[in-house]
Structure 1
Amino acid sequence: MRSSLALIATAGIVAAALTGCSSAPAAPEATPGQSSGVVVVEGDFGEEPRVEFPSPLAPQETQCSEVIAGEGERLQEGQQALISLAVFNGSTGEDIQYAGFGDEEPIAVTVSDSTLPGLKKALECAQVGSRVAVVVPPEDAFGEEGNESLAVSPDDSLVFVIDVQRAFPARADGAARLTRDGFPAVVLAPDGRPGITVPKNDPPKELQTEVLKQGNGETVEDGDAVVVHYTGVLWNDNTVFDSSWQNGAPATFVVGEGSGAQVIPGFSKALVGQQVGSQIGVIVPPSEGYGDEGNAQVPAGSTLFFVIDILGVI
């Protein structure tokens, strides 16, 4: 039985919320065990795997075994990863979902306490380029409620096979730069979340951009899909009207001057030409923002200020 990816997302398997990123990876909570060791996975990385395991599997804790070795450091709290995912009912042996393999777009998921506990532990034992087999007990899966839409009962375990295609930093990691006098002040929390203070003076009438941290990664080009963290405030009262940090995960937008752009013109113009790893501040006048109409969050004629962390280009 195969269910839609929408059901998996609704169930919380790929739900995400951002939290802080530590300076060094902590030891993974999930380690190899007897249950994960009996999951047999065949096939190439990135391609839909052939998976066999005896059922029922009834692990006492989440277990994770590496099937294909990756490179670099393990995923950390706060990082967004692009993964391919196969999910099975570990008690019945039924398959639940295959997604992101082959020509399918990978799934974006953030390592977070708001992610299904077993999936978070699975991600924290993985690296970019690795394939892991993970067996999850009911308490790290859907617990006492189970998930009727996925035919998962309260006592059912889950089995994940995960290929980690890419991972993005949790925050901009470029070198800090000074900004000019009169520009909004930005103070960062330990997890990278910006606190913004807009000056009392009247806003400029033209788009203004400052590089707060200078990255050295790929340059953003017109038409790129860009992974960002951002916070936007209203100039007149410093109110946050939109924030990926508050929404729980980095966002991905297409930027540029064409009809395919998914953000306001000032946001796009600020990003195009910048490098991954940079953090930028941008003052957006109404003509480059929501104009004289505004929207539900932005009053008509509003000048905006954004702090944007450029985490990657897809």
Structure 2
Amino acid sequence: MRLRPIAALSAAAVSALLLAGCASGDTAAPEPSSTTPANLCDAAAASGAASDSVTVDGEIGSASEATFETPIDPTALEVSVVDEGDGEAVEAGQFISYAMTAYSGDTGEQLASVGYKPGELLPSQLSPETIQGQVFGCGNVGKRVVAVFPASETATSEVYVLDLLGTVPTAAWGEEQEPVEGAPEVTLADDGAPSITIPEGDAPTETEVSVLKQGDGYEIQKGDYALIQYTGVRWSNGETFDTTWEDGAPIAYPTTQYVPGFQKALEGQKVGSQVLVVIPPADGYGEGEINEEDLKGDTIVFVVDILGGQTAPATQ
């Protein structure tokens, strides 16, 4: 049985940076079409006879039980509101946490329920172009909807019950920790963007990880997706060579797709944490002469904010 890739959308990376093998690049946001809604409120799909016919039992924030006559197959996406929610209204550009239960439109069988336990879904950024934007619109935290997707060439019709659980900050929110003596100094701007000052003296010869803010969320495991913000500087001159903060776009990749030192900084850390990591060439981009073209030979320093985690698909 196949689910539509709504869950996978939350794990999609905003840009490709710091992948293993020193690959980097950017993935451009989709170009709005002439039919793209102007705002998040207008993006919300309309209700219809199919979505209105679904009965939902269960409390918001826990897996639902939906019943409906089968087969159910509208001609277009239909969304009915079960509960408007009483939290703050969400806005385009915000990251949200959400959960959902999916059912076969042919048989009524429950296919899956995800997002109600830590580590099952990454936060997703709302926009009029995304499925999340179309099902939640500019709704309130606590909103529950029924979304009925029509059949396609590759999938039968499907029914989703989705809960809008909350919004997620784009900077780490954990408890501040005492700085490690001799480590690079980190100062934060009002929006949480870090500046890194390299100390005097030689760079460490082994990777050093220290926690600047201690989160209490899901613990990132090897191979998990981690939604992160980061800034990276060279030890040799203190210059920033890469950062997600310039456009405020966190990224998400499996931990195993980063260089070894960066992987060590993520695995075992909890969502909400901010981590400082100093990575020598052996755990970074390799030994060699320091140069301006690439990071070979240089020790690199990152401050990483861990905003979300999603269990590796093989272990879900």
Q: Distance in 2 between matches of 1:226 and 1:184?
A: 24
Q: Partner of 2:227 in structure 1?
A: 227
Q: Partner of 1:212 in structure 2?
A: 212
Q: Determine if the alignment matches structure 1 residue 285 to structure 2 residue 280.
A: yes
CA positional deviation for 1:120: 9.8
Q: Partner of 1:269 in structure 2?
A: 264
CA positional deviation for 1:115: 7.5
Check 1:297–1:241 CA distance in 2 against 1; reply closer, same or farther (3 A cut): farther
Q: Partner of 1:110 in structure 2?
A: 125
Q: Distance in 2 between matches of 1:12 and 1:82?
A: 24
Q: Partner of 1:311 in structure 2?
A: 307
- For residues 227-256 of structure 1, the C-alpha deviation after alignment (integer angstroms, 9 at most, x for no partner) is 21111111122222222223542211212x
Judge conservation of contact 1:46–1:165 (CA < 8 Å) in 2.
Answer: no
Check 1:191–1:236 CA distance in 2 against 1; reply closer, same or farther (3 A cut): same
What is the correspondence of 1:152-231 to structure 2 with a 5 Å cutoff? Answer: 163=162, 168-231=168-231
What is the correspondence of 1:1-314 to structure 2 with a 5 Å cutoff? Answer: 10-12=30-32, 30=41, 41-42=51-52, 43=54, 66-69=81-84, 74-75=89-90, 79-81=94-96, 109-111=124-126, 119=133, 123-127=137-141, 130-131=144-145, 163=162, 168-246=168-246, 248-255=248-255, 261-292=256-287, 298-314=294-310
Judge conservation of contact 1:84–1:107 (CA < 8 Å) in 2.
Answer: no
Q: Partner of 2:21 in structure 1?
A: none
Q: Distance in 2 between matches of 1:299 and 1:68?
A: 52
Q: Distance in 2 between matches of 1:67 and 1:296?
A: 57
Stretches of structure 1 that go unaligned for 5 or more consecutive residues are 14-27, 54-63, 86-101, 134-160, 256-260
Judge conservation of contact 1:234–1:305 (CA < 8 Å) in 2.
Answer: yes
Check 1:198–1:78 CA distance in 2 against 1; reply closer, same or farther (3 A cut): farther
Q: Distance in 1 between matches of 2:282 and 2:209?
A: 15
Judge conservation of contact 1:111–1:124 (CA < 8 Å) in 2.
Answer: no
CA positional deviation for 1:10: 2.2
CA positional deviation for 1:111: 4.3
Judge conservation of contact 1:233–1:306 (CA < 8 Å) in 2.
Answer: yes
The one-letter amino acid paired with 1:110 is Q
Q: Distance in 1 between matches of 2:136 and 2:226?
A: 26
Check 1:296–1:254 CA distance in 2 against 1; reply closer, same or farther (3 A cut): farther
Q: Partner of 1:18 in structure 2?
A: none
Judge conservation of contact 1:83–1:162 (CA < 8 Å) in 2.
Answer: no
- What secondary structure, in the 3-state scheme, does the structure 1 residue paired with 2:263 have? helix
Judge conservation of contact 1:80–1:249 (CA < 8 Å) in 2.
Answer: no
Check 1:213–1:82 CA distance in 2 against 1; reply closer, same or farther (3 A cut): closer
Judge conservation of contact 2:45–2:134 (CA < 8 Å) in 1.
Answer: no
Judge conservation of contact 2:279–2:301 (CA < 8 Å) in 1.
Answer: yes
TM-score w.r.t. length of structure 1: 0.57
The one-letter amino acid paired with 1:292 is E
CA positional deviation for 1:129: 6.1
Check 1:124–1:211 CA distance in 2 against 1; reply closer, same or farther (3 A cut): farther
Percent identical residues: 32
- What secondary structure, in the 3-state scheme, does the structure 1 residue paired with 2:211 have? strand
Stretches of structure 2 that go unaligned for 5 or more consecutive residues are 10-27, 34-38, 57-63, 67-71, 101-110, 115-120, 148-159, 311-316
- What secondary structure, in the 3-state scheme, does the structure 1 residue paired with 2:257 have? coil
Judge conservation of contact 1:126–1:132 (CA < 8 Å) in 2.
Answer: no
Q: Distance in 2 between matches of 1:9 and 1:131?
A: 27
Judge conservation of contact 2:218–2:309 (CA < 8 Å) in 1.
Answer: yes
Q: Distance in 1 between matches of 2:246 and 2:272?
A: 21
Check 1:285–1:174 CA distance in 2 against 1; reply closer, same or farther (3 A cut): same
How many residues align structurally? 232
Q: Distance in 2 between matches of 1:174 and 1:108?
A: 17
TM-score w.r.t. length of structure 2: 0.56
Q: Distance in 1 between matches of 2:138 and 2:196?
A: 31
